[in-house]
Amino acid sequence: MRTIQALRRTMPPPCGTAEIQGVPIAVRCASAERDLQIGGDWYLSMPLPGGELLLAIGDALGHGLAAASSMLRLRFAMTALAAEGYPPAEILGRLNDELCRTGPVAGASAIVAVYRPLTGELVSARAGHPPALVSDGEHTTTLGDAGGPLLGVVPGYGYRTTVRRVGPADQLILYTDGLLRRGQTVDEWAAGTAVAVRQAGGDATALVHSVDYHACGDDACLLIARLRP
């Protein structure tokens, strides 16, 4: 019980809203093990120098205490690397190398993005994770990055960087695969999400309160950021 309580104290808040660097953010995470209320899915939103903003989401594979412990380790390491100024692809590369050395229980996935409001650019990298979505309220599309393998699987892998210019009404949607129904593809989930955003009048943050966080019995997390170049 003490271990569970300690983990709960160090985990990010499971839901809420905030404004960081002028960007409104809404987030919610849910655990597959409702009694424990801890799991392996996580998010990170933190200010960077120059008005930039780091947004990330990840999934330490598995459930319960082991997944939560791995999640916290990854989240703390990513926070430290971002604070030191490493770009998204290098953050993932260093996390991957560390996990390959120490041997994760089942691997992990993550997507890391840095938003640059001065240029309107979104710089991102992805490791074994479903692609982010970008919505202007009317059209919702995948970010379209190259992606790479799960963290902790391929030693020395060089993750690739994607740069996308965002518009004044664009909203970034980061999510974990726990939101997908069993047998549902990412493309099918993205299509349903596009419809839901249009039905909500173009406001993607409505998803935070409307999606099924127990769609497949896995941990799940969703983060929506309204980008403002």
* pLDDT the model gives residue 31: 84
Question: Would you say residue 103 has pLDDT above 80?
Answer: no
pLDDT above 90 coverage of the chain, percent: 70
Enumerate residues 6+ apart whose C-beta is below 8 A from 13: 27
The whole-chain average pLDDT of the chain stands at 88
* Cβ–Cβ under 8 Å, residues 68 and 6: no
Q: What is the pLDDT of residues 170-219, one digit of tens each?
A: 999 999 999 999 999 999 999 999 999 999 999 999 999 999 999 988 88
Enumerate residues 6+ apart whose C-beta is below 8 A from 15: 27, 28, 29, 208
* pLDDT the model gives residue 223: 97
Q: Please tell me the distance from the alpha carbon of residue 60 to that of residue 77, in angstroms, as a whole number.
A: 13
R_g over Cα of the chain: 16
Domain residues for 129?
Answer: 2-226
Nearest Cα neighbor of 162 from 123, 127, 110, 131 is 123
Q: Measured between alpha carbons, how far is residue 44 from residues 27, 154, 159, 168 in Å? A: 10, 24, 19, 23
Residue recorded with tokens 């990298």: 125
Q: What is the pLDDT of residues 4-56, one digit of tens each?
A: 454 455 556 677 899 999 999 999 998 886 665 667 789 999 999 999 999 99
* pLDDT the model gives residue 102: 81
**DSSP string of 122-160, one letter each residue:** EEEEEESSPPPEEE-SS-EEE------PPBTTSTT--PP
* pLDDT the model gives residue 6: 47
Q: What is the pLDDT of residues 126-164, one digit of tens each?
A: 999 999 999 999 999 998 888 999 999 999 999 999 999
* pLDDT the model gives residue 206: 95
- The CATH number of the domain holding residue 121 is 3.60.40.10
Output 209-215 pairs: Cβ under 8 A, ≥24 positions apart.
Answer: 209/28, 211/179, 212/179, 212/181, 213/28, 213/30, 213/178, 213/179, 214/30, 214/32, 215/178, 215/179, 215/180, 215/181, 215/182, 215/184
Q: Measured between alpha carbons, how far is residue 25 from residues 3, 20, 46, 169 in Å? A: 30, 7, 11, 14
Give the phi and the psi of residue 162 in degrees, each rounded to 5. -120, 135
Q: What is the pLDDT of residues 55-71, one digit of tens each?
A: 999 998 766 566 667 78
Overall number of domains in the chain: 1
- Under DSSP, the state recorded for 177 is G
Q: What is the pLDDT of residues 219-229, one digit of tens each?
A: 899 999 999 76
Q: Please tell me the distance from the alpha carbon of residue 216 to that of residue 172, in angstroms, as a whole number.
A: 23
Question: Would you say residue 91 has pLDDT above 80?
Answer: yes
* pLDDT the model gives residue 34: 61
* pTM of structure: 0.91
What token pair was written down for 91?
């953050």
